[in-house]
Amino acid sequence: MPNRVLFVDDEPLFREYYTRLSSKLGDDYEVITAKTGADGLKALEEADFDVVVSDLDMPKMSGAEFLTTVERLHPETMRMVISGHIEQLAVARCLMYGHRYLQKPLSSNFSETLKRVCRLKQAVRNNKLKKIIGGTSALPTPPETYLRLTEALQSPDASLEDFADIIRADGALTAKLLQIVNSAQFGLPRQITTAFEAIQITGLEVLRALMLSLQTLQKYEGKHLQSLSLPALWKHSLDTAVAVRKLAKCEGLDFGHCEEFFVSGLLHDIGKLILAAHADKQYKIVTQRSAAENIPIHLLEQEVFGATHADVGAYLLGLWGLPESIVSCVQMHHSLVTIEPGEFSVVVAIYAAQCLQRSPNGLQPIDEKFFERIGFRNRVDAWREALEN
């Protein structure tokens, strides 16, 4: 069955462009266009669509009104907003009813963006999960601070002081950032007291990932989950992030790659939070069975939900527009069989970190055959030492 994409735009030239886009997408995609929000809603009544792309400024029914209705009636459909607006608050408002904001004129890789989100959606076969992830009430919208940070990251002229100003405007984020940087895990010789110094130490992509993680956790803090402990999930995620960055340094990777490893480690289990928050009773059974029967949790998730927390997390982060390398790592972090010999990847680092980190029960057993197969058995002792320092 082809991926179906609906474009809604009152401008004839853009509808013509979208029609031509069909040839770039290939035979696995079907493109439908509509010139008004009312026509778009009629098309959605007649057929299911994977993605809806709507212009913001349309007569009679605006893009905001149209997409808000789509969200209510068809929450499993991914929603993209296209507009000429560049003001940050306007963008923030768009993300209250759309998953992604794209600016006119569209970039040359727009077709690849569509393909990417459709691939992520196909990995989640359970319709209930698609509705959970796709609904605004279920999908934490990145905050205005995050949007400002993203804009600064894309600017070649932004300085560290500019980033520090953005962070200072968010007191909760500043406090959490300083708490993390000053934790024992970073092992710094002195106390860090300013956002500027903290950013110098963490790096910018790490900062953005921290913000997303905190925003997501805060979304669900009021819920009393039986299947998952939010503090424990945050601790595990942060411990893993710090550990994989240490392993990246141990292998001589540069600062940029170390940042990417940290971000992937921090976000790798975010799908567990979505499953727990929206299917708590079912997920409690999954976690209990995993512990009692010693079955990897991702296998039980696949059995019960038709998707793993890795699939759900990748889908979520793909909608948020995080880099493909990070989304791919989150989706594949339980897929050890895909690792090629000699490949030191984030997936390898996450697995090694979780095996080699000390826990209340001591070190976890490691899969000696796995490390032998990929050619890193002789590095395990060095990795263990790096994690203990």
* Tokens matching residue 183: 């934790």
Tens of pLDDT, residues 242-288: 899 899 999 999 877 887 888 788 889 989 988 888 889 999 999 99
pLDDT reported for residue 239: 86
pLDDT tens-place string over residues 7-38: 999 999 999 999 998 888 888 999 999 999 99
Domains delineated in the chain: 3-122 (3.40.50.2300), 203-388 (1.10.3210.10)
- Confidence band for 292, pLDDT divided at 50, 70 and 90: very high
Where residue 116 falls among pLDDT bands split at 50, 70, 90? confident
- Please identify which residue in the block is written with the tokens 């790592």: 329
Would you say residue 294 has pLDDT above 80? Answer: yes
Token pair 């921290």: residue: 210
Note the pLDDT tens digit of each residue in 186-231: 556 777 777 788 888 777 777 777 776 766 776 777 678 899 988 8
Compare 42 and 199 and report the one with higher pLDDT.
42
* pLDDT, tens digit, 9 for 90 and up, residues 363-382: 456 778 888 999 999 998 89
Comparing 35 with 116, which gets the higher pLDDT?
A: 35
Q: What is the pTM of this model?
A: 0.70
pLDDT reported for residue 277: 84
> What's residue 144's pLDDT?
67
**CA 291 to the chain's CA centroid:** 27
Average pLDDT over residues 317-345: 83
